[in-house]
Amino acid sequence: MLYCEKCRMMAENGRCDSCKGKGPLRQPLDNDPVLLAKTDQVSAAMLEGILQDEGVPFLKEGRMGAGMTTWAGGMLEEYSFYVPYGVLNQAAELAKVVFDGAPDPLAEDALEDEDMEELEELTEQEEEDMPF
Ligand SMILES: [Zn+2]
């Protein structure tokens, strides 16, 4: 897989989807920063903790910058995580824990679950009313 210097992303199929092939592509070096994930502040904090625990070096960049974060409230911030190409696979495995893992039991998701069940019931009723 080739590396897009402009976007700091891996370009699949020989073309960078992010800049539509405008950036220069080359073979990645072990210390090239590669975009691992873009995420909100909550997931960013989790990911940061996991990467630190595992000793994976990374760069974290906020989209809006520090001053803007304070003004807009941290929850609106989006963070981009970059890791050296050499540890990309390892970092991607760790990131799965954050993005595919179980929901945080401390989060207020009990209410959301109820909403989901209601939604499912509504959907089922609608299906029964279908004439066919
Ligand atoms: Zn690109």
- Summarised one tens digit per residue, pLDDT across range 28-47 is 999 999 999 999 888 999 99
Q: What are the CA-CA distances from residue 102 to residues 96, 107, 130 (Å)?
A: 11, 11, 35
**Count of positions (residues) in the chain:** 132
**34: CA distance to ligand 1 center in Å?**
11
Q: What is the model's pLDDT at position 41?
A: 85
Is the pLDDT confidence value at 84 over 60?
Answer: yes
The stretches of 8-132 forming alpha helices (DSSP H) are 41-53, 66-72, 88-100, 110-129
Domains of the chain: 31-129 (3.30.70)
**Distant-in-sequence, close-in-space partners of 104: CB < 8 Å, separation ≥ 6:** 42
User: What is the tens place of the pLDDT at every residue in 92-131?
Assistant: 999 998 988 655 555 554 445 555 666 666 666 656 666 6
| Residues whose beta carbons lie less than 5 angstroms from ion ligand 1 | 4, 6-7, 16, 18-19, 23
**25: CA distance to ligand 1 center in Å?**
8
Q: What is the model's pLDDT at position 78?
A: 86
Report the side by side order of strands in the sheet with 25-26: 9-11, 2-4, 25-26
Q: What is the model's pLDDT at position 129?
A: 65
User: What is the tens place of the pLDDT at every residue in 58-72?
Assistant: 999 987 655 555 555
